[in-house]
Amino acid sequence: MSNLVFVYGTLRRNERNHHLLNGATCIAEQAWTNGILFNTDNGYPILKNINDIDVVYGELYEVDDNQLARLDELEGYYGEGKINFYDRVVKTIFTDKEIYHAFVYVMTEQQTDMLRVKVEHEDWKVQNFIKQNHFLYFAYGSCMDDKRFKIAGEDHHFEKLVGLGVLDGYSLGFTVRFSDGGRADILETGGVVEGKAYEITSDAVPYLFRREGVGDRLYRPAIIEIKINGMVKEALTFIVVQKEEELAPPDHYSEEILRGGEGTLSLDYLEKIKEKVIYLKGKESIV
């Protein structure tokens, strides 16, 4: 029998307990549910199953009964009505593709004293990833345009361009609506997104967060895997929080994307961006 499980801590990809999900099917790398995520002093987070306002980001997997039993053992879940370390409940899980219902391990009363501060950015992987001295940043929209960095006086953060990054399983969209048109986003709906991969330090994070409107919940930071120089690497990127129906970007924004991608992105991919913009403009003129 198959089961769906939402994971948000050490069971996530490239984390220390992810091996327990070997053989499981990943339904969505970008998934979220309601609740509040707290840090502990033990190197893992705890989800408090409360309200429908706060959000926790994680991953969604399909597992069989044997895999679920291994997860139960890890989380100290012995069954309904028993004294459990974590409770296993069914929660609504949101993804770019559809809405699911899945098992989630949530805190019990005996864990109350373990709670510390809330996990930053509602994402345990992001919180830990951006504390490294050096890491990759994947730019796929106007942030590929070095001219914008220079105007902002922040170009010194982005001097080390590693090269072309390729993100599988995602598509480029324009789901942020400004008064003059759409802005770029990535959606986990299949396809391929190309972008520029920079090696940056944590000093660049405040600028990127301001630029992407993280504090206003316009974009959120996320960790994705990209193919670069024959290897697969984790990288920081930014994803739209409240996605709307796609809207054609203004000409100046399209030019920034194309100018920024020239010389790094493939000619075929740049042509596809042009075709998508033309399509969206044509769709809007019909309406």
For the chain, what percent of residues have pLDDT higher than 70?
Answer: 99
Does residue 251 sit in the same domain as residue 157? yes
Q: Mind listing the pLDDT tens digit for each residue in 65-118?
A: 999 999 999 999 999 889 999 999 999 999 999 999 999 999 998 788 888 899
Catalytic residue, candidates 212, 244, 246, 256: 212
Helix (H, G, I), strand (E, B) or coil at 94: strand
Crossing angle of helices 267-286 and 251-261, in 10° steps, is 170
CA 80 to CA 87: how far, in whole Å?
8
Domain boundary, last residue among 125, 143, 161: 125
- pLDDT per residue as tens digits for the range 259-285: 999 999 999 999 999 999 999 999 876
pTM as predicted: 0.95
Domain match, 156 and 21 both: no
Instruction: Quickly state the pLDDT bin for 15 (edges 50, 70, 90).
Output: very high
Amino acid symbol at 199: E
CATH number at residue 112: 3.10.490.10
Specify the 3-state DSSP secondary structure of 283. helix
Q: What is the spatial distance between Cα 88 and Cα 11, in angstroms, rounded to a whole number?
A: 15
3-state DSSP of 157-222: HHCCEEEEEEEECCEEEEEEEECCEEEEEEECCCCEEEEEEEEEEHHHHHHHHHHCCHHHCCEEEE
**pLDDT tier at 287 (50, 70, 90 boundaries)?**
low
Using CA atoms, how far apart are residues 143 and 45, in angstroms rounded to an integer?
32
Domain hosting residue 268, numbered range: 130-286
Is there a single domain that holds both residue 101 and residue 216?
Answer: no
The tens digit of pLDDT for each residue in 185-234 reads 999 999 999 999 999 999 999 999 999 999 999 999 999 999 999 999 99
pLDDT-derived band at 171 (thresholds 50, 70, 90) equals very high
What is the pairing mode between strands 161-168 and 86-95?
A: unpaired
Higher pLDDT, 51 or 153: 153
Looking at the structure, do residues 210 and 153 belong to the same domain, yes or no?
yes
Are residue 140 and residue 277 in the same domain, yes or no? Answer: yes
Q: Quick one: pLDDT at residue 286?
A: 64
Q: Which residue has the higher pLDDT, 156 or 110?
A: 156
Question: Using one digit for the tens of pLDDT, what is the confidence trace for 21-37?
Answer: 999 999 999 999 999 99
275 part of the active site: no
Domains in the chain, number: 2
What is the number of other CB atoms lying within 10 angstroms of the CB of residue 262? Answer: 12
